[in-house]
Structure 1
């Protein structure tokens, strides 16, 4: 009897650790993360939490099955652990502790799933998983916009689809609003471009996917998304130039780019009004300034420690109920991740997040500019897209945005971990006692 149980356990571990199972689970994780909004709308919180619970259990079991083959040293960046630790500490003074606890568990679930994806998949495999999911999501989004805006000519309210396709947008797809669809379409552009460059999918499929993603970007008519696309395009050009530069001169070009970046930021601030006008973002800015003004009034009451983590706001709870009347389009966030972080986690949490993001971008940028394979460009560009979008949206803090963010920073930290560097140095030293 014992022997039969051991055989069954061994068979289960082999199944859970098999490459095909890991591939399928990775695709399911990315799919549930990006489709969290329609899943919640169709099946309620119970359906989404149920799906996440199953994925976390399967990911944990799969990690156990692969335990002996994994190198754990330096896999989780300390900056990420510090951020999660501070987020947990805010439960102590949160005025909505049970909601904070639920929000923390929700955040940790996506963190665990992101860690699983980053740990068990190579970067090219992650790109393929994201590509397969995003092709499906954008395809469904265009399809439902055709149904709503052309075939039945009526909004689909439970999915927040307004049916504006006949007027060439703005469209929301199945993601709830145009800005969320926009950032997903931008990440899709980066992903499909990486697939094309690495020849990991047929050329026709990659080009068709790029055209579809670009169409979604344009149809969102989102000034925020257009701004992100411009920054990502500039970053892509700079990385292309750096990758072609001689290795011995690359460091000097990096410092030159830092200077150019500083000048560019100063010029962007000086000419901010003109940029906002050109992007057609005046209405968006007016709305956000109203939200930020009220948020800073609350921040001033708890500037260092914040009010406590909540993720997406609950407008039935104080102090977030003070924002409920701000606009018919109010979207339960501070419409800016930095403001959201300061409000929820205080200045301490904001500084920790900025350090986390800064280290992640630096590591991924160095890898993208120095490694031969073009696939290393993907995490760098995705991080840049997410962080630029974070200036006007809070999607990086929840669900798909957080999953993609953690996947990229874990992959970058895994490649440029100082703890792994020290481990390699220790292993390379001769045994002086012998």
Structure 2
């Protein structure tokens, strides 16, 4: 009994919660490097062990949890549809493994969301990304300057002396760019909330901004513009008087709709401005070919695989026709449309859309700037999903689930049910 009690106290401790969060974040964001240096089996084992530890932590803390608020219902719906695709997929084994990966990363995000608050999560993510970006820069310096030798195991080509593109330990320049932008958001939030000292915040921001630039990723400019716009818009809403806030929200919504329409009409000029013509042309050819296969199974899709499985139809046939080796649709929305059909895409959009609206409403009236992290991160994920499929696998999917849970914890119909059971009336008042 003494040993059991000791283990329970350890699992329920604050120190364990922080250690588990850091370990999970490190594994999730360093997954490419871990797989390259070991194997996919090792990475899967790490995630599985972390899930078991997370389950034990949640069990010990079960009295703190509410069954109704354990996860957003939209998440269960999306995971359920992905699991249901086992009935029509061409390879049930690969689909099962793909779904387990999806569920594993989601479970880690849910565990962290329940054992750490938003500020603690941001701090842990900041610490993790500081280390990983520093390691990436260090390896690029060793490869490109000190040894002048590429590190083929990690795909590092040693391009630092010529100004990039760099990819660090993340597998591609676009992934490094995405991680750097996410880190920039996180580091600024840390600084604004005074969670870290100025002496640490300024070098961290410089590190993230520098690697974002050196990644030479065309998507970084788009992500930076999106983050800047949403930050400005959120600032306007947060500083508006309560009686005028609704009008400001509707005005911003109208401007967003107009901007999206203008961006679509001027898409060719924008692509030329970004000097991403050839890159976009490759994507356009891929998306057109994907739509041919979507037309064959428009509602249910071809079955969930996540990253394109080697030797699986229709992925290999698409690559054969394009004479390429794509490992994804280079667009999260097209990837889900291909694998889970229109039904899966609708569920995915509901998951992200509801989370964005909830988190935006919370951030617009809460005093602390830490609440801005969730909607800004969700916008980053949504925009990046137009150019890459990061949001449906690994770190991107993990972030989406974490943000969806955060949004649901602060503004959800479940609050009313919980309140009715406890006799409290939940309200979300402006904090001034």
Looking at structure 2, the residues matched to 425 and 250 of structure 1 have their Cα atoms a distance apart, in angstroms, of 29
2:302–2:341: 8 Å Cα contact kept in structure 1?
yes
Is 1:281 aligned to 2:260, yes or no? no
**Residue 83 of structure 2 aligns to a residue in which SS?**
helix
The unaligned stretches of length 5 or more in structure 1 are 1-5
Is 1:33 aligned to 2:28, yes or no? yes
Looking at structure 2, the residues matched to 331 and 140 of structure 1 have their Cα atoms a distance apart, in angstroms, of 27
Deviation at 1:327, TM superposition (A): 7.4
**1:322-344 deviation digits (Å, cap 9, x = unpaired):** 24457797440000000000000
**Residue 171 of structure 2 aligns to a residue in which SS?**
coil
Of 92, 96, 99, 2:91 maps to 96
1:386–1:405: 8 Å Cα contact kept in structure 2?
yes
Please show how residues 133-172 of structure 1 align to structure 2 within 5 Å.
133-172=128-167
**1:227-260 deviation digits (Å, cap 9, x = unpaired):** 0111011101111111111112111110111111
Q: CA RMSD in A?
A: 1.5
Could you say which residue in structure 2 is the equivalent of 1:18? 13
2:286–2:322: 8 Å Cα contact kept in structure 1?
no
Is 1:69 aligned to 2:49, yes or no? no
Deviation at 1:106, TM superposition (A): 0.9
Deviation at 1:163, TM superposition (A): 1.5
Of 261, 264, 286, 2:259 maps to 264
Of 101, 104, 110, 2:105 maps to 110
Looking at structure 1, the residues matched to 38 and 78 of structure 2 have their Cα atoms a distance apart, in angstroms, of 31
Identify if the C-alpha distance between structure 1 residues 374 and 94 changes in structure 2 by more than 3 Å, giving closer, same or farther.
same
Could you say which residue in structure 2 is the equivalent of 1:205? 200
**1:198-244 deviation digits (Å, cap 9, x = unpaired):** 00011110111001000011011111121011101110111111111
Looking at structure 2, the residues matched to 54 and 222 of structure 1 have their Cα atoms a distance apart, in angstroms, of 34
Is 1:347 aligned to 2:336, yes or no? no
Aligned length: 425
Of 327, 330, 333, 2:328 maps to 333
155-164 vs 193-202, which deviates more? 155-164
Of 194, 198, 203, 2:189 maps to 194
Could you say which residue in structure 2 is the equivalent of 1:52? 47
Looking at structure 2, the residues matched to 19 and 329 of structure 1 have their Cα atoms a distance apart, in angstroms, of 49
Looking at structure 1, the residues matched to 28 and 321 of structure 2 have their Cα atoms a distance apart, in angstroms, of 29
**1:288-324 deviation digits (Å, cap 9, x = unpaired):** 1121122112111111100000000113222211244
1:74–1:418: 8 Å Cα contact kept in structure 2?
no
4+ residue runs of structure 1 moved beyond 3 angstroms? 323-331, 425-430
**Residue 158 of structure 1 aligns to a residue in which SS?**
coil
The unaligned stretches of length 5 or more in structure 2 are 426-432
Could you say which residue in structure 1 is the equivalent of 2:305? 310
Looking at structure 1, the residues matched to 125 and 81 of structure 2 have their Cα atoms a distance apart, in angstroms, of 30
Looking at structure 1, the residues matched to 292 and 12 of structure 2 have their Cα atoms a distance apart, in angstroms, of 51
Is 1:249 aligned to 2:244, yes or no? yes
**Residue 86 of structure 2 aligns to a residue in which SS?**
coil
Looking at structure 2, the residues matched to 419 and 236 of structure 1 have their Cα atoms a distance apart, in angstroms, of 29
Deviation at 1:355, TM superposition (A): 1.3
TM-score (norm 1): 0.95
**Residue 91 of structure 1 aligns to a residue in which SS?**
helix
2:191–2:198: 8 Å Cα contact kept in structure 1?
yes
TM-score (norm 2): 0.96
